[in-house]
Amino acid sequence: MKWGAHSQFAGFEPASGVIVTGNQDLAILKDFYRQVRAMTQRYAPQATFVFHDAGLFDGQTWNDLFMDTQKVALDHHYEQIRGHQWMGGTQEFCDMFSNEVN
């Protein structure tokens, strides 16, 4: 991590937009996240490790990922370009996002 020690290096997210299709994929992804977080802690201890929820926006899915949650953030973002037809305006987008989160 060439820039990891820089004071402005605030966080690191190794993958965004990953979609999990089964338990085996989830186990692989969790192992990957654990390995990358350990690297982040070693090379950039000031940085927050950010991980994408892989389309599984359920806290129970991720509660066993790390033993501690210091400098960890969960990224949930609505993938409007993957399998969704979004041609509407701002209100439609906000409604679709709210429906997915709830």
Average of per-residue pLDDT across 20-34: 91
- Whole-model pTM: value is 0.75
Average of per-residue pLDDT across 28-36: 95
d(CA 71, CA 46): 8
Average of per-residue pLDDT across 59-75: 92
Reference 40, options 66, 64, 77; nearest CA is 66
CA dihedral 91, 79, 24, 50 (to 10 degrees): -100
Confidence check: pLDDT of 1 > 70: no
pLDDT-wise least confident of 3-7, 40-44, 50-54, 64-68: 3-7
Reference 74, options 19, 24, 13; nearest CA is 13
Tokens of 29: 């992804």
